[in-house]
Amino acid sequence: MLLDYSSSLHYVLALLPEAVLAVFGMWVLLAGVSRRRSGGLGKETGWLALAGLLVAGVANGWLYSGVAEGGTAAMIAVDRLRLFANWVFILGAGFAIVIALPYVARQRLQAGEYYSLVLFATVGMMVMAASRDLMLIFLGLELMSIAVYALAGYNRRDRRSAEAGLKYFLLGAFASAFLLFGIALLYGAAGSTNLHAISEALSAGAAVEGLLGPGLALLTIGLAFKVSAVPFHMWTPDVYEGAPTPATAFMAAAVKAGAFVVLLRIFATGLDALHADWSGILWWVSALTMVFGNLVALVQSSVKRMLAYSSIAHGGYLLVAIVAANETAAAGLLFYLLVYTVMTIAAFAVVVSVGNQGESGNRIEDYQGLGARRPVLSICMTIVLLALAGFPGTAGFIAKYHLLLGAAEASLWKLAVILALTTVVSYWYYLRVAWYMWMRDAPAEGRPTGYVITPFATRVALVVSVALLVLAGIFPGAALEMAENAIRGIMYVAPQAGAAGL
């Protein structure tokens, strides 16, 4: 089927996954109110949210298999990049909801509102990935952000959660202001917010040069905040530690994926002609983010804070692909986002279990002796930690290898060396957790590790995610092929010599 955007119906069809998920989000919200009035715990709303994700996935599959668009200038993209990203968002949201089912029930949180916020945040990510217009990207970003702000501060009985939500909201509002101001300046420079039109104006030399630099800088600042790039990372450790753990898992995985897909689309299709201007800045941001995230993670005693700084470091790895600006690196970025989403959700599933479906047991010392008490849980966590570290033979290694290939293709040798060295540094803090689990004696009775609760839903999410990681590490071909197909047709320019020599 060929979409004709002169028809309103075809616009609806182009946004079918988003529309389906938005309808289910409202349905879950209303169902949650009904369940609360009847005195239920609301697990049914969680399963309804999962059903919504399944239906949205079917709609996304229909677009992937049999729908094409005429041209690349429309506001809504129906390309493989958008549809591949949707799979990542749906997968991340689904796993996040599954591990939240026992947590929300045990903490007696308002289930309907919680799961609807996850769905609305996912809709925002999908709109961002589908947008070829900066204003539509901003609207999707705000829809995602507002929902995630609420998720971060969702547990009103926990002071740390309320503090996390407030910090995230205040700093996020500043970042949104920078982003919107940057969009306004780019509009003034190019006369349009459409990425295709901006690219044409830049290629033809018709843009107002005095507005391009400030607009590009402000746009980059706004997006750097969303991906936790240094020096715009300040919110990440406090928010990740204070937010409810399932919400942290969702933020660390799917939200980061959404922000990087937007970065990829903007810099690859709209600002590709300015590669020589922005690549040098992002080179330094990427290098600083990798070094800072890994070094600070070394000294953390809280597992959630360690994973927060680890998330910052992974953002630096992914920025390497943006700087490289070639199809090899971009395909590696998409594969990395898929693998990283699964790894992160699995890691936080273990954190939720060790915390007894709450926020206790968050210190690394609380994991000592876990291998003797919960061997299956510890084996799963060890596999996930090795994958996060990029240990050879894991899906994380395959993902980093393709980022390095893209960097080598762009002659970014110094950045590739920094990526490799910081990866080696990360082995220490990842394997330290595994060492506590397997090599330290079990703690005395009464410590949190003695009462680890792993409900059936969490076990399912953990086993499935670990199985996916093992399969992606041994047989990465299918996922890599999908990522490569998603990049075909995306415009790229060859990196300038000055940028490549950094």
Q: What is the pLDDT of residues 444-470, one digit of tens each?
A: 554 444 456 677 888 888 889 999 998
The total domain count for the chain is 1
Residue type, 317: Y
* Calculated CA dihedral for residues 422, 364, 154, 40, nearest 10 degrees: 130
The domain of 393 spans: 2-500
CA pair distance 394, 386, nearest whole angstrom: 7
Tens digit of each residue's pLDDT (9 = 90 or more) over 308-343: 999 999 999 999 999 998 889 999 999 999 999 999
In Å, what is the CA distance from 41 to each residue of 37, 115, 238?
A: 10, 13, 29
208 in Cβ contact with 189 (< 8 Å): yes
pLDDT band at residue 117 using 50, 70 and 90 as cut-offs? very high
Q: Which of 67-81, 128-142, 152-166 has the lowest mean pLDDT?
A: 67-81
DSSP states of 170-236 as a string?
HHHHHHHHHHHHHHHHHHHHHS-SBHHHHHHHHHTT-S-HHHHHHHHHHHHHHHHHHTT-TTS-THH
Write down the pTM of the prediction.
Answer: 0.91
Nearest to 121 by CA among 99, 96, 157: 96
Residue indicated by tokens 């399963």: 47
SS3 content of the chain, % helix, strand, coil (to 5): 80, 0, 20
Question: Is 219 in contact with 266 (CB distance < 8 Å)?
Answer: yes
- Give the angle subtended at the CA of 92 by the CAs of 42 and 74, to the nearest 5°: 115
pLDDT digits (tens, 9 = 90+) for 381-413: 999 999 999 888 889 999 999 999 999 998 899
Token couple for 177: 């202001």
Q: In angstroms, rounded to a whole number, what is the distance separating the alpha carbons of residues 178 and 158?
A: 31
Are 132 and 269 in contact by the 8 Å Cβ rule? The answer is yes
Q: Which residues pair with 194 in a beta bridge?
A: 133
